[in-house]
Amino acid sequence: MVVVPCSEYGNRVKKLDSINLYGDKDQWVWIGGKDSDFSVGVVKRFLRSERDCSNNFVLKWSKQVPKKCSILVWCAEMGRIPTVDVLLKRNCYNGEDMCVLCEDS
């Protein structure tokens, strides 16, 4: 169990109270066309275009989330966390090819 000082608890409650939540439904937004409307024709034109969109991933950073957590999520999304399987793919791992949790290779 983690013991949190009262002042820190109060600060966290204030931060949570300052967040505005809206009752709107979540929605997908298409960024491949001129407007945010999605259609099959727009997707076909997008796929036929010569644009390189491999680096268009946008991670929305939140001020309420600690930076180290945001960076971890960003690294995970980009496949850059140095896990054993990633290190093996990069030929950078000299240890055993074994899961540390179940000890299975």
70: Cβ–Cβ under 8 A, 6 or more apart, which residues?
Answer: 59, 61, 62
Into how many domains does the chain fold? 1
pTM: predicted TM-score of the whole model, two decimal places: 0.35
Question: How far apart (Å, rounded) are the C-alpha atoms in residues 24 and 8?
Answer: 31
Residue 74 lies in a domain: yes
Q: Is 18 inside any structural domain?
A: no
> Within a domain: residue 75?
yes
73 vs 37: which has the higher pLDDT? 73
> In this structure, is residue 79 part of a structural domain?
yes
Q: Angle at CA 59, nearest 5°, toward 53 and 63? A: 155
Q: Which range marks the domain in which residue 63 is found?
A: 57-105
Q: Which residue has 């820190």 as its token pair?
A: 8
| 27, part of any domain | no
Burial class (CB in 10 A: 0-12, 13-18, 19+), 78: exposed
- Residues 25-68 pLDDT 10s: 767 677 766 776 777 887 787 777 776 666 666 667 778 888 88
pLDDT value at residue 71: 86
3 is a domain residue: no
Distance spanning both ends of the chain, measured CA to CA:
34
